[in-house]
Amino acid sequence: MEDLVLASELRTALTRLQKKLRSQSAIRRELSLTELAVIRQLAEHDYLLPSELARQEKVTTQSMSQILNHLAEKGYIRREPAETDRRKIRVSLSEAGQTLLRTTRHERDEWLSRALRETCTPAERQLLEQVLTPLNKLVEFE
């Protein structure tokens, strides 16, 4: 298969799988994709400023403010003044936000595990294991 065709088919398959995984979590009905992305960003950092979150998620600061207000209403984030500049607000995940992230990941892992068992042969599962290394290389490519 030619590289361009392979790239297109791989992108399509991965996009469809990602959409399927997103739909497997009950929280998907409560939070938007951007709100879930903000929770994932906060899980990777101790805290972030709203402007940093807006830049990372490619939304305006006004949109991020609305997103953070919704997450705060749900109890998933904490806001506190920055230690070095009290005018700035740091955002971090609350215990409820950390629990939400763990639950969401577990729901998706459970679904994918069941899908692997029920749709793939042992040889296909072994092939998927072998594909993980090149897929991770693609993720790291700049």
pLDDT of residue 29: 79
What tokens were used for 107?
Answer: 């729901």
Residues 58, 88 within the same domain:
yes
Residues 121, 137 within the same domain:
yes
CA-CA distance, 120 to 20, in Å (whole number)? 17
Per-residue pLDDT tens, the chain, 142 aa: give them: 899 999 999 999 999 999 898 888 878 778 988 999 999 999 999 899 999 999 999 999 999 999 999 999 999 999 999 888 888 999 999 999 999 999 999 999 999 999 999 999 999 999 999 999 999 999 999 8
* Count of domains forming the chain: 2
Question: Residue 59 corresponds to which amino acid?
Answer: V
What tokens were used for 22?
Answer: 């997103």
Mapping DSSP to helix (H, G, I), strand (E, B) and coil, where does residue 93 land?
A: strand
What pTM was computed for the model? Answer: 0.78
pLDDT of residue 5: 96
Which range marks the domain in which residue 131 is found? Answer: 1-30+95-141
Determine phi and psi for 25, rounding to 5 degrees.
Answer: -105, 135
Query: Which residue matches tokens 């700035």?
Result: 88
Residues 3, 36 within the same domain:
no
Residues 99, 88 within the same domain:
no
pLDDT of residue 118: 98
Residues 101, 116 within the same domain:
yes
CATH number, domain with residue 69: 1.10.10.10
pLDDT of residue 9: 96
